[in-house]
DNA sequence: CTGTTAGCGCATTCAT
DNA sequence: ATGAATGCGCTAACAG
């Protein structure tokens, strides 16, 4: 593989000049630039990005840490991040944290050891404190799906409280008076925020939060199944159930179907996230839109702007959820 | 950040010795090794992987190119690849090809320019010829989901013909005599292979392939919807439809539901891939299992073994699909 | 506008 | 078992 040196020989210029044309430095006359370009073409020269990184102390790589890669949630986010970064010739190194604090920290170190210029993190298990300290190291950090006051400008997150509120509010508006809730794991921030919103909507509607109609789930289909089963077994009646994400909603619906319950006739169900398959389960799932892909894109733009000084227009840091009305929730009969 | 040089000073040894302990070279006495290790700890030394790469000509990074990141298909594959590689301290750089030949080639060059030690490719648009030539360059290539004779040992693929056969064979076994088929795009290899299997099962069952009951889809939900709509409009009767993937099956089922058709009573449906959400659509989708995550893992192990001489046990290159019977297909009434 | 000179942090001969 | 010397391919002052 040809090096910058070979090119300089062939073009009859110095190393520095070749470097200048590679880096689009303007201080090169058109004629020399041409000579160099030709030499490069003839030698099929490709810059060695590793050498560039070592010499310039910029790796052009950004690390992305997510909780999981399977599941419907992170794919769209990763896709946007890759696209935005790739368009500016940056590459993304992925790591998975599995929602485990030790693994998350290890992943961060791993990414750092790879010389990433910035880190985009979607972590849930690690403490605020750890992240604040991390942000004080030299590598820029962007947090997706998490708000930490001390890191405000680099947090990109959804107003989850509002989302939880919107979901339950929708049920209240439809006349439901007895509303069950299948939550995400209580150790996850967003799950707790959604719950708070749920309770606010309840209170606003003059309803009391009934612990017997509250189930802690796991954000997975299995948790939705187990949650619905548990709810059914309480013997308490309820006409609506709000699930803290679509996966649990789909699990809950599956259980209802098995039991001969017709959705939404016998029970109204609403999910959260608006994952791609939400509109392909039947009935089409009423849910709350979580613009996860936009948040991914925003994180990438943030990095381009702040780390690579690539003049990108940033829209915002905090995103608003929106109700998506489809067919799984209807007006209560009474 | 401390360098190997700082460590050598503190430990009172030479650069070479420090390098030896980093690389677990045995030619170091226990005492010196201890001194060096201590110095490293005290300085919180971390090797600069970029410098290591430049000096050793090994980047410890492997490029992974997939068609898309969203959708249910690639997530599980990526997850396995990341896990296997990460366990051996290799990192994965992702790129997306969007099933477009130009983008795929550009992505390959991009990955190559990043100094990847190997490439794992799941490409569909690029020609066999291109891949063969690529494999003759110096960077090892693994192909997922594609078989090219000249590259046999580095192809990891599914017997798609068998899968297509199994799906249709299941319908035939259930007594269906009029079986529609919604195919994947005809420019995709796997789609064509599945179709061949379908036709074999038809022939074996004494049925003739009816072009009027064949629709070319796009492997997406939309294609399944459009396909089912088109099928319904032909006016021809059919009691079963086999879809070339689960996403199209879910789209097809959604259309049926809208039209008041009950699945599987009025129509039996089978999908292909067994993506995670297949068992959460209702009725639970009968399908053909595609062990995509295992193929991902195998690709990663292949790289570890052949590129990094990490002694991994390889299982196999060609995977067999299996029928997964759930609730969307039943015996034909007649 | 162009060339010279130093490193970037590490691996790797080759000596000893 | 250890050290000295060289270079990986490139960027970035600094000169001119």
The CATH number of residue A97's host domain is 3.40.50.2300
For residue A328, is pLDDT > 90?
yes
Rounded, the Å distance between the CA of B93 and C1' of C5 is 35
Residues B165 and B88 in one domain: no
A76 contacts chain B (CB < 8 A): yes
Give residues with Cβ within 8 angstroms of A15, minimum separation 6.
A4, A5, A8
For residue B168, which of B182, B157, B158, B147 has the smallest C-alpha distance?
Answer: B182
Q: Mean pLDDT in chain A?
A: 94
Least confident segment among A81-85, A126-130, B277-281: B277-281
Tell me the pLDDT tens digit for each residue of B69-112.
Answer: 988 889 999 999 999 999 999 999 999 999 999 999 999 999 99
| Residue A281 to residue B277, Cβ atoms within 8 A | yes
β strands within B4-126, DSSP E: 61-66, 91-96, 118-121
DSSP code of residue A152: G
Give residues with Cβ within 8 angstroms of B254, minimum separation 6.
A279, A280, A282, A284, B221, B224, B225
φ, ψ (nearest 5 deg) of residue A147: -120, 125
| Residue A82 to residue B69, Cβ atoms within 8 A | yes
Q: Which of residues 218-237 of A touch B (CB under 8 A)?
A: 221
Per CA to C1' distance, which residue is closest to C13?
B16
Confidence of residue B244 (pLDDT cuts 50, 70, 90): very high
Give residues with Cβ within 8 angstroms of B8, minimum separation 6.
B14, B15, B17, B18
Residues A96 and A200 in one domain: no
Domain containing A23 — which CATH number? 1.10.260.40
Residues A136 and A115 in one domain: yes
For residue A312, is pLDDT > 90?
no
Q: Which nucleotide is nearest to A45 (CA to C1')?
A: D9
B118 contacts chain A (CB < 8 A): no
Chain A: closest CA distance from residue B21 (Å): 18
Q: Which nucleotides of chain D are near protein (any atom < 7 Å from a CB)?
A: 1-14
Chain B: closest CA distance from residue A87 (Å): 11
**CB contact at 8 A, A278 and A247:** no
Residues B277 and B310 in one domain: no
Instruction: Please check whether residue A53 lies inside any domain of the structure.
Output: no
Residues A256 and A241 in one domain: yes
For residue A282, is pLDDT > 90?
no
Distance CA A111, CA A93 (A): 8
Among A61, A106, A277, A292, the strongest candidate for a mutation testing the B interface, having the largest count of B CBs within 10 A, is: A277
Q: List residues bridging with A142 in a β-sheet.
A: A120
Q: Which nucleotides of chain C are near protein (any atom < 7 Å from a CB)?
A: 1-13
Rounded, the Å distance between the CA of A209 and C1' of D6 is 74
**CB contact at 8 A, A234 and A223:** no
Q: Which of A46, A95, A277 lies closest to B277 in CB terms?
A: A277
Residue B97 C-alpha from the chain's centroid: 13
Instruction: Please check whether residue A329 lies inside any domain of the structure.
Output: no
Instruction: Please check whether residue B128 lies inside any domain of the structure.
Output: yes
Rounded, the Å distance between the CA of B308 and C1' of C13 is 22
Number of helical (H) and strand (E) elements in chain A, helices listed first? 12, 12
For residue A334, is pLDDT > 70?
no
Instruction: Please check whether residue A128 lies inside any domain of the structure.
Output: yes
Instruction: Please check whether residue B324 lies inside any domain of the structure.
Output: no
Residues B227 and B79 in one domain: no
CA distances from B125 to B122, B135, B139, B257 (A): 10, 16, 20, 34
Residues B68 and B137 in one domain: yes
CA distances from B168 to B129, B179, B202, B286 (A): 32, 8, 7, 12
DSSP code of residue A333: P
Per CA to C1' distance, which residue is closest to D5?
B16
Residues B105 and B202 in one domain: no
Contacts of A221 in chain B (CB under 8 A): 279-280
Confidence of residue B333 (pLDDT cuts 50, 70, 90): confident
Contacts of A68 in chain B (CB under 8 A): 79
- What average pLDDT does this structure show over B12-39? 91
- What average pLDDT does this structure show over A68-76? 89
Residues B69 and B187 in one domain: no
Instruction: Please check whether residue A333 lies inside any domain of the structure.
Output: no
Domain total of chain A: 3
Instruction: Please check whether residue A15 lies inside any domain of the structure.
Output: yes
Instruction: Please check whether residue A326 lies inside any domain of the structure.
Output: no
Per-residue three-class SS string for B166-191: HHHHHHHHCCCCCEEEEECCCCCHHH
**CB contact at 8 A, B46 and A113:** yes
Residues B257 and B215 in one domain: yes
Confidence of residue A316 (pLDDT cuts 50, 70, 90): confident
Residues A88 and A181 in one domain: no
Structural domain boundaries, residue A216: 160-290
Tell me the pLDDT tens digit for each residue of B105-133.
Answer: 999 999 999 999 999 999 999 999 999 99
Q: Mean pLDDT in chain B?
A: 94
pLDDT for the residue numbered B269: 98
Tell me the pLDDT tens digit for each residue of B185-206.
Answer: 998 999 999 999 999 999 999 9
For residue A247, is pLDDT > 80?
yes
For residue A258, is pLDDT > 90?
no
Tell me the pLDDT tens digit for each residue of A93-148.
Answer: 999 999 999 999 999 999 998 999 999 999 999 999 999 999 999 899 999 999 99
* Most confident range, picked from A18-22, A25-29, B179-183: B179-183
Residues B284 and B204 in one domain: yes
B294 contacts chain A (CB < 8 A): no
Q: Which of B95, B115, B282 lies closest to A281 in CB terms?
A: B282
**CB contact at 8 A, A145 and A302:** no
A53 contacts chain B (CB < 8 A): yes
Instruction: Sort residue A247 into left (φ over 0), alpha (ψ -120 to 50) or beta.
Output: alpha
CA distances from A35 to A22, A46, B262 (A): 13, 16, 71
Chain A: closest CA distance from residue B204 (Å): 34
């Amino acid at each position: 593989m040809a090096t910058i040196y070979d090119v300089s020989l062939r073009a009859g210029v110095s190393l520095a000049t070749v470097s200048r044309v590679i880096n689009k430095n303007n201080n090169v006359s058109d004629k020399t630039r041409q000579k160099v370009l030709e030499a490069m073409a003839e030698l099929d020269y490709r810059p060695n990005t590793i050498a560039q990184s070592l010499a310039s102390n910029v790796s052009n790589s950004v690390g992305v840490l997510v909780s999981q890669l399977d599941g419907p949630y992170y794919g769209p986010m990763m896709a946007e991040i890759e696209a935005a970064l790739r368009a500016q010739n940056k590459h993304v190194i992925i790591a998975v944290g599995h929602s485990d604090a030790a693994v998350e920290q290890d992943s961060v170190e791993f990414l750092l050891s790879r010389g990433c210029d910035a880190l985009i993190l979607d972590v849930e298990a690690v403490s605020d404190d750890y992240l604040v300290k991390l942000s004080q190291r030299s590598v820029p950090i962007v947090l997706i799906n998490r708000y930490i006051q001390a890191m405000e400008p680099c947090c990109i997150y959804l107003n989850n409280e509002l989302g939880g509120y919107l979901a339950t509010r929708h049920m209240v508006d439809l006349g439901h008076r007895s509303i069950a809730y299948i939550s995400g794991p209580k150790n996850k921030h967003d799950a707790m925020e959604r719950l708070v919103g749920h309770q606010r909507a309840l209170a606003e509607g003059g309803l009391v939060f009934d612990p017997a109609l509250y189930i802690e789930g796991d954000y997975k289909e299995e948790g939705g199944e187990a949650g619905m089963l548990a709810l059914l077994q309480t013997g308490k009646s309820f006409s609506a159930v709000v699930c803290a994400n679509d996966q649990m909603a789909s699990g809950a619906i599956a259980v209802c179907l098995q039991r001969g319950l017709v959705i939404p006739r016998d029970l109204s169900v609403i999910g959260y996230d608006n994952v791609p398959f939400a509109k392909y389960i039947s009935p089409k799932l009423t849910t709350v839109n979580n613009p996860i892909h936009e948040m991914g894109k925003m994180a990438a733009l943030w990095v381009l702007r702040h780390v690579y000084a690539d003049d990108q227009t940033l829209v915002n840091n905090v995103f608003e959820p929106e109700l998506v009305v489809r067919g799984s929730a209807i007006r209560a009969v009474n």
